[in-house]
């Protein structure tokens, strides 16, 4: 659909009031499901009072025609001439669900608004950072204050110590930490460190796990159980991935086999301790325990890439949730509270190899800048308040169970789950234990689901192979509205 006409409650006609006058309150009710072609007249509840509704219905119905994605479409068309594919990160282009992406105007709490004034309940949360809600007032206030003192020092600042101490206190494996500017950077630094510390070159990752776009991690898993990595993108030299081994997630035997073949050669086993980049996949506890044992026996390091799960599925991340302590941990997303931050950390003896304490070189002009640090600090402070993770778990459970029930009632095969504020589902019977299972999902159905929900005012990640995120700002009214919209949509999928 090139240009959808949408009707969203809480918004008034742009021609009457201007797009910027959409309601900012999170008073989401089930949005009106609109037929996309024949009749575009929506309920006018929320636009005018019930009493005056009949008088104005024709006029409003006519005005409602302006609710569309016209501005998004125009901006995206222009962007395609300026930016490769119109975006600065590929998944934003909606390639795997089709249709045009929505161009955002602003975000607040659990909601986002596009440039046409359409309002959405947002389950992407900027891909994870917005765990306390978008543009949280306390974070914004602290950022505003910090702005007066400057945005970047390129020199030590006290805020780095504060955030470092918070991370060290929270994450069981971390005794020292290095801040960088993204999850990719964190994974690059971590890998160099693991290689430097062990004096080994090989790294073992899992099919379907994403660790940023550094050469060594851009590996296509072959069809076998365990496959030597081949570059997944032109421009990645074979040499860069020759030392990358790939195993199946949740399949300890595939890991054992690789360790048998490469005894004493593997620097690190790196994994998403809960997968978010093949869709949402939960590990077997025995799988994680087995990895811990195997790495210990072989002298390899165990690395949890908690860029997505860190401070999300528990304050201490997946390692706290599962009670398994890796040697190194990478982080990102939540620790920057919406500003660009990544980090890697671990045992002191390993971290002291990082320059200038040790010989492993890694640096960054903007690393540890005060804006990013204060944003992270304020976000973590909010998360520390009692009940935060219980609230995330409750609201996310309500959402996913409601979605699964609604889909099953309508006769769809579906499976899914959640841990705290991270969730996902697949349009297949399941269970989904790894990327091979995830690929059995009906992605065409997901694409229709995605577009249908967007039209009803609910923003999910534009790919079957991405996890969803909730925040402390999501309300029961938000998720109930989403479930009601999905119920309606599932009937026609």
Ligand X SMILES: Cc1ncc(COP(=O)(O)O)c(C=O)c1O
Q: Which residues bind ligand X (CB under 6 A)?
A: 127, 182-184, 187, 210-212, 272, 276-277, 305, 307-308, 332, 342
Nearer residue to ligand X within complex by CB, 308 or 403: 308
Separation CA 329–CA 310 (nearest Å): 9
3-state secondary structure of 246: strand
The rounded Cα 7 to chain-centroid distance in angstroms is: 27
Q: Which of 305, 327, 437, 478 is catalytic?
A: 305
Separation CA 227–CA 101 (nearest Å): 35
Q: Name the residue number minimizing CB distance to ligand X.
A: 183
**In the complex, minimum distance from the CB of residue 60 to ligand X, in angstroms, rounded to a whole number:** 42
Nearer residue to ligand X within complex by CB, 31 or 280: 280
Q: Which of 120, 210, 344, 389 is catalytic?
A: 210
Nearer residue to ligand X within complex by CB, 72 or 309: 309
**In the complex, minimum distance from the CB of residue 276 to ligand X, in angstroms, rounded to a whole number:** 6
Q: Between helices 443-455 and 476-490, what is the axis angle to 10°?
A: 120
**In the complex, minimum distance from the CB of residue 129 to ligand X, in angstroms, rounded to a whole number:** 9
Per the annotation, the verdict on 123 as an active-site residue is: no
Separation CA 65–CA 47 (nearest Å): 14
Nearer residue to ligand X within complex by CB, 317 or 457: 317
**In the complex, minimum distance from the CB of residue 102 to ligand X, in angstroms, rounded to a whole number:** 19
**CA Rg, the chain, in Å?**
23
Asked if 247 and 206 count as a contact pair (C-beta separation under 8 A), the reply is yes
**In the complex, minimum distance from the CB of residue 342 to ligand X, in angstroms, rounded to a whole number:** 6
**In the complex, minimum distance from the CB of residue 271 to ligand X, in angstroms, rounded to a whole number:** 9
How many CB atoms within 10 Å of residue 247? 27
**In the complex, minimum distance from the CB of residue 273 to ligand X, in angstroms, rounded to a whole number:** 9
Q: What is the DSSP string of 306-371?
A: -TTTTTTTSTTHHHHHHT---SEEEE-GGGGBTB--EEEEE-HHHHTTBTTTSSB----TTTT-HH
E-strand spans in 102-249?
104-108, 111-114, 119-122, 176-180, 202-206, 219-220, 227-228, 230-231, 244-247
Per the annotation, the verdict on 67 as an active-site residue is: no
Separation CA 357–CA 431 (nearest Å): 46
**In the complex, minimum distance from the CB of residue 127 to ligand X, in angstroms, rounded to a whole number:** 6
Per the annotation, the verdict on 105 as an active-site residue is: no
Return the bridge partners of 59, or none: none
Buried b (16+ CB within 10 A) or exposed e, 192-202: bbbbbbbebeb
Separation CA 17–CA 48 (nearest Å): 13
Nearer residue to ligand X within complex by CB, 307 or 485: 307
Nearer residue to ligand X within complex by CB, 118 or 277: 277
3-state secondary structure of 2: coil
How many CB atoms within 10 Å of residue 388? 18
First to last CA, the chain: 16
Q: Which of 205, 333, 378, 445 is catalytic?
A: 333
Nearer residue to ligand X within complex by CB, 186 or 406: 186
Reference 209, options 233, 239, 236, 187; nearest CA is 187
Nearer residue to ligand X within complex by CB, 212 or 337: 212
Please identify every residue annotated as catalytic: 210, 305, 333
């Amino acid at each position: 659909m090139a240009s959808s006409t949408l009707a969203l409650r809480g918004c008034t006609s742009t021609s009457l009031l201007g797009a910027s006058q959409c309601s900012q309150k999170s008073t989401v009710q089930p949005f009106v499901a609109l037929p996309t072609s024949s009749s575009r007249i929506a309920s006018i509840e929320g636009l005018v009072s019930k009493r005056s509704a009949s008088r104005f219905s024709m006029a409003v119905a006519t005005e409602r025609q302006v609710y569309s994605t016209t501005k998004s479409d125009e901006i995206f068309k222009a962007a395609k001439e300026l930016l490769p594919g119109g975006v600065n990160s590929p998944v934003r282009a909606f390639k795997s669900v089709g249709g045009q992406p929505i161009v955002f105007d602003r975000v607040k709490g659990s909601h986002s608004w596009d440039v046409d004034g359409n309002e959405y309940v947002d389950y992407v949360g900027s891909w994870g950072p917005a765990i306390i809600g978008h543009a949280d007032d306390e974070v914004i206030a602290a950022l505003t204050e910090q702005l007066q003192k400057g945005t970047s020092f390129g020199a030590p600042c006290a805020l780095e110590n504060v955030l470092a101490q918070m991370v060290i206190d929270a994450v069981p494996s971390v005794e020292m930490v290095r801040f960088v500017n993204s999850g990719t950077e964190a994974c690059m630094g971590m890998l160099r460190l693991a290689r430097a510390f062990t004096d080994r070159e090989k790294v073992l990752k899992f099919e379907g796990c994403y660790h940023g776009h550094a050469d060594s991690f851009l590996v296509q898993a072959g069809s076998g159980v365990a496959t030597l990595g081949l570059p997944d993108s032109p421009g990645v030299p074979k040499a860069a991935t020759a030392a990358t081994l790939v195993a199946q997630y949740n399949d300890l035997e595939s890991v054992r086999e690789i360790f048998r073949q490469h005894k004493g050669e593997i620097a690190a086993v790196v994994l998403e301790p809960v997968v978010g980049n093949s869709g949402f996949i939960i590990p077997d506890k025995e799988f994680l325990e087995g990895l811990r044992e195997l790495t210990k026996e072989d002298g390899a390091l165990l690395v949890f890439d908690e860029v997505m799960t860190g401070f999300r599925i528990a304050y201490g991340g997946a390692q706290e949730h599962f009670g398994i302590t890796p040697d190194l941990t990478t982080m990102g997303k939540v620790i920057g509270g919406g500003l660009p931050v990544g980090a890697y950390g671990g045992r002191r003896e390993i971290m002291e190899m990082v320059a200038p304490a040790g010989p492993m070189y890694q640096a960054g002009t903007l690393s540890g800048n005060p804006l990013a640090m204060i944003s992270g600090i304020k976000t973590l402070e909010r998360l520390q308040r009692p009940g935060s993770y219980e609230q995330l778990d409750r609201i996310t459970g309500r959402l996913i169970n409601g979605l699964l029930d609604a889909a099953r009632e309508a006769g769809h095969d579906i499976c899914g789950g959640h841990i705290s504020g991270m969730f996902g589902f697949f349009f297949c019977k399941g269970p989904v234990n790894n990327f091979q299972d995830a690929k059995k999902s009906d992605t065409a159905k997901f694409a229709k689901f995605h577009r249908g929900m967007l039209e009803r005012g609910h923003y999910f990640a534009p790919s079957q192979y991405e996890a969803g995120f909730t925040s402390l700002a999501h309300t029961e009214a938000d998720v109930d509205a989403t479930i009601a919209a999905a119920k309606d949509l599932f009937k026609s999928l």
